């Protein structure tokens, strides 16, 4: 990667040279080596849109979020112009996240087990499961206004007709007024489907606007939504797909990137010494977006960096300990697809309802944030995704950054 200049090969140095002069040559050699490797890594990072964290002062301790109740999912909402974080614990209870601890929410919000949460604007959407006395379970989509202790009256039960053939609601995502509920089957023989809930009357009562069925080769672990009813799906094996939500049978298509995304180099360039192995540049990857090893329900988030701009998709990469910031590629549309209108393909259905195939989404990399030390904890990676999606201006202070929190 780098060859120091104007330095003779040391074994050929004349034995007549004084020891002090040899030591100066060695010192110069090591200095040029260190500087050269650092320059080469910085050049690679710049060309690959990599920001290595932490930069500047190290971030605060992650002790408060690495102890206590394990966190399954993190969601962000707005309260009076400030960011408010909620967390779903592995105990199926709802918490508020502060810069010091997790605060369990009012018992009225934790009467029944919580399966999933998602935030949009000033509302938190909460999927609950109420076990029945006859071995049946009823589900509800609850709406919580930021900072409140009771669910809104616009909360709705999920029609039992959708809970059949071993299918059940498992994940949520939301964008604007639309809330998408994913139904999957433990049997693995039935297509998954997404319900699009949106306010349907003057009382803002939520109802089903569309149902889209599709097949996935592996379980879906995370969802995120763009405008124009575009939903991104992350499978357990790392495959990223997208689907355009409309009634009928759909084909989820691969998410593409304009160019292969270079992985971050191992090690911290600021701490490089001659004893540190020189980082090597891996071979280029694929233009089909895949994140093997990432299984968090908080792996995907959508945010708008500035008012009036197109939304960005933020993705947790647990294997390479980074967060990807992507936007629609040039020539795309605000809905996040190119184009945002699905096309019908031939079908054997005699009723005339064909299979709807959305075109592949094409995204381009804006930035990637990497840290092998800071992002060692999955919950910290999840916080980083939320931080970037909410537009906080200081990504170097990912962990417990003050811009995450309101006063408790």
User: Which element (helix H / strand E) includes 259?
Assistant: none
pLDDT at 301 over 50: yes
What local confidence, expressed as pLDDT, does residue 352 receive? 39
pLDDT at 307 over 50: yes
Please tell me what DSSP assigns to residue 42: H
Q: Which two tokens stand for residue 179?
A: 């809330």
List Cβ neighbours of 93 (8 Å cut-off, separation of 6 or more).
69, 104, 105, 110, 114
Mean pLDDT of the chain, nearest integer: 77
Tens digits of residue pLDDT in 154-194? 889 999 999 887 889 999 999 999 999 999 987 665 689 99
pLDDT at 118 over 60: yes
pLDDT at 260 over 50: yes
| Of the listed ranges 129-138, 217-226, 278-287, 374-383, the one predicted with least confidence | 278-287
What local confidence, expressed as pLDDT, does residue 381 receive? 75
Q: Taking CA 320 as the corner, what is the angle to CA 377 and CA 255, rounded to the nearest 5 degrees?
A: 115
Confidence of residue 225 (pLDDT cuts 50, 70, 90): very high
User: Which element (helix H / strand E) includes 230?
Assistant: strand 230-235
Q: Taking CA 223 as the corner, what is the angle to CA 353 and CA 393, rounded to the nearest 5 degrees?
A: 140
Tens digits of residue pLDDT in 10-41? 455 555 556 777 777 877 777 777 777 778 87
Give mean pLDDT, residues 124-130: 94
Please give the C-alpha separations between residue 213 and each of 195, 250, 300, 307, 356, in angstroms, as whole numbers.
9, 6, 21, 33, 10
Alpha-carbon span 248 to 63, nearest angstrom: 47
Alpha-carbon span 199 to 324, nearest angstrom: 32
What local confidence, expressed as pLDDT, does residue 347 receive? 34
Task: Tell which residue, 327, 322, 324, 323, has the closest CA to residue 306.
Answer: 327
Confidence of residue 235 (pLDDT cuts 50, 70, 90): very high
Give mean pLDDT, residues 37-47: 81
Confidence of residue 273 (pLDDT cuts 50, 70, 90): low
Please tell me what DSSP assigns to residue 297: T
Report for 182-196, 278-292, 335-349: range of highest mean pLDDT: 182-196
Matching residue, tokens 């840290």: 371
Q: Which is it for the CA torsion 307, 309, 311, 313, positive or negative?
A: negative
Contact 327, 364 (CB under 8 A): yes
pLDDT at 65 over 70: no
348 exposed, middle or buried (CB, 10 Å; 0-12, 13-18, 19+)?
exposed
Confidence of residue 135 (pLDDT cuts 50, 70, 90): low
List Cβ neighbours of 248 (8 Å cut-off, separation of 6 or more).
212, 213, 353, 354, 355, 356
pLDDT at 342 over 90: no
Give mean pLDDT, residues 294-314: 87
Cβ neighbours around 291 below 10 Å, total:
23
Contact 335, 227 (CB under 8 A): yes
What local confidence, expressed as pLDDT, does residue 53 receive? 75
Q: What does pTM read for this prediction? A: 0.80
What local confidence, expressed as pLDDT, does residue 302 receive? 92
């Amino acid at each position: 990667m780098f060859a120091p200049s104007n330095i003779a090969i040391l074994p050929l140095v004349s034995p007549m040279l004084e020891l002090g002069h040899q030591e100066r040559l060695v010192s110069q050699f090591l200095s040029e080596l260190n500087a050269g490797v650092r320059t080469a890594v910085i050049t690679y990072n710049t060309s690959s849109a990599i920001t290595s964290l932490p930069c500047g002062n190290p971030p605060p301790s992650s002790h408060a979020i690495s102890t206590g109740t394990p966190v399954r999912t993190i969601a962000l909402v707005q309260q009076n112009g400030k960011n408010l974080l909620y967390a779903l614990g592995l105990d199926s209870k709802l918490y508020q996240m502060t810069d010091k601890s997790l605060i369990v929410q009012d018992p009225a919000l934790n009467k029944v087990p919580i399966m999933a949460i998602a935030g949009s604007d000033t509302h938190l959407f909460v999927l609950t499961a109420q076990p029945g006395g006859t071995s049946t379970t009823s589900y509800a989509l609850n709406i919580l206004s930021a900072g409140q202790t009771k669910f809104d009256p616009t909360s709705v039960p999920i029609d039992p007709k959708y809970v059949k053939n071993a299918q059940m609601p498992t994940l949520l995502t939301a964008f604007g007024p639309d809330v998408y509920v994913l139904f999957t089957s433990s049997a693995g023989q039935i297509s998954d489907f997404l319900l699009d809930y949106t306010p349907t009357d003057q009382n803002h009562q939520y109802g089903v606007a569309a149902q889209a069925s599709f097949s996935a080769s592996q379980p879906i672990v995370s969802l995120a939504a763009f405008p124009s009813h575009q939903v991104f799906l992350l499978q357990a094996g790392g495959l990223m797909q997208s689907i355009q939500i409309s009634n009928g049978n759909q084909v989820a298509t691969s998410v593409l990137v304009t160019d292969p995304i270079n992985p971050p180099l191992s090690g911290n360039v600021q701490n490089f010494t001659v004893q540190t192995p020189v980082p090597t540049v891996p071979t280029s990857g694929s233009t089909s977006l895949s994140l093997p090893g990432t299984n968090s329900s908080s792996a995907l988030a959508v945010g708008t960096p500035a008012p009036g701009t197109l939304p960005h998709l933020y993705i947790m990469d647990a294997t390479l300990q980074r967060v990807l910031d992507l936007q629609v590629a040039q020539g795309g549309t605000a809905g996040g697809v190119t184009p945002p209108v699905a096309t019908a393909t031939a079908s054997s259905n005699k009723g005339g309802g064909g299979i709807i195939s959305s075109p592949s989404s094409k995204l381009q990399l804006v930035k990637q944030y990497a840290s092998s030390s800071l992002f060692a904890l999955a919950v910290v990676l999840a916080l980083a995704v939320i931080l970037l999606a909410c537009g906080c201006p200081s990504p170097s202070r990912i962990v417990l950054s003050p811009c995450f929190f309101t006063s408790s």
